């Protein structure tokens, strides 16, 4: 069975693949409607993640949109992913970066907790050995 890409892997691919496109936005002669909306090629992302295009589209459009889109205090909706009439599929790139940063923080916290738990187990084993053999 093939591995299913994690949210972190998909977000990393989007971020690193399209970061230059986000930075290249020209204010005088823009190549897209808004700087924060960066067009993405779902087929390319799917190929990089090793899954079908529909799998990536579904994850981004249904899962990421539901999980990371929000409504601000003025009732303005900020979506993670949108299909634009003239631009096709695009992501809110700063939101991608923010979610990715949160994912990295979660991963670091999880790794720290595992390290603490592992250290506690080792100390416990050493304590037991000392108690039985001294």
Q: Is residue 57 part of a domain?
A: yes
Q: Is residue 115 part of a domain?
A: no
Q: What is the mean pLDDT of residues 60-74?
A: 91
What is the per-residue pLDDT for 3? 86
pLDDT-derived band at 87 (thresholds 50, 70, 90) equals low
Q: ∠ at Cα 38 (33, 42), nearest 5°?
A: 125
Phi-psi category of residue 39: left, alpha or beta, with phi > 0 → left and psi -120 to 50 → alpha: beta
> Which residues in the chain belong to E strands, given as ranges?
37-39, 70-71, 77-78, 81-84, 88-92
d(CA 52, CA 44): 10
Q: What is the mean pLDDT of residues 43-69?
A: 93
Q: Is residue 91 part of a domain?
A: yes
From residue 73, alpha-carbon distances to 77, 78, 118 in Å are 10, 11, 44
Q: Is residue 36 part of a domain?
A: yes
Q: Is residue 1 part of a domain?
A: no
Q: What is the mean pLDDT of residues 39-66?
A: 93
| Residue 32: pLDDT over 80 | no
pLDDT-derived band at 1 (thresholds 50, 70, 90) equals very low
- Whether the CB-CB separation of 87 and 33 falls below 8 Å is answered with yes
pTM for the structure as a whole: 0.79
Task: Kindly report the CATH number assigned to the domain that includes residue 45.
Answer: 1.10.10
Q: Is residue 114 part of a domain?
A: no
The count of domains in the chain is 1
Task: Look up the domain containing 99 and give its range.
Answer: 7-104
| β pairing state of 37-39 and 81-84 | unpaired
What is the per-residue pLDDT for 86? 62
| Residue 42: pLDDT over 90 | yes
Q: Is residue 125 part of a domain?
A: no
The mean pLDDT value of the chain amounts to: 89
């Amino acid at each position: 069975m093939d591995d299913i890409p994690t949210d972190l892997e998909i977000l990393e691919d989007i971020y690193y693949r399209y970061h230059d496109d986000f930075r290249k936005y020209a204010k005088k002669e823009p190549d897209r409607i808004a700087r924060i909306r960066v067009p993405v090629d779902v087929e390319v992302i799917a190929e990089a993640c090793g899954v079908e295009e529909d799998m990536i589209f579904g994850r981004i459009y249904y899962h990421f949109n539901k999980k990371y889109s929000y409504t601000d205090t003025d009732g303005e909706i900020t979506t993670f992913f949108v299909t634009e009439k003239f631009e096709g599929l695009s992501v809110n790139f700063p939101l991608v970066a923010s979610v990715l940063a949160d994912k990295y923080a979660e991963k670091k916290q999880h790794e720290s907790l595992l390290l603490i738990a592992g250290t506690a187990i080792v100390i416990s084993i050493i304590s037991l050995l000392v108690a039985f053999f001294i």
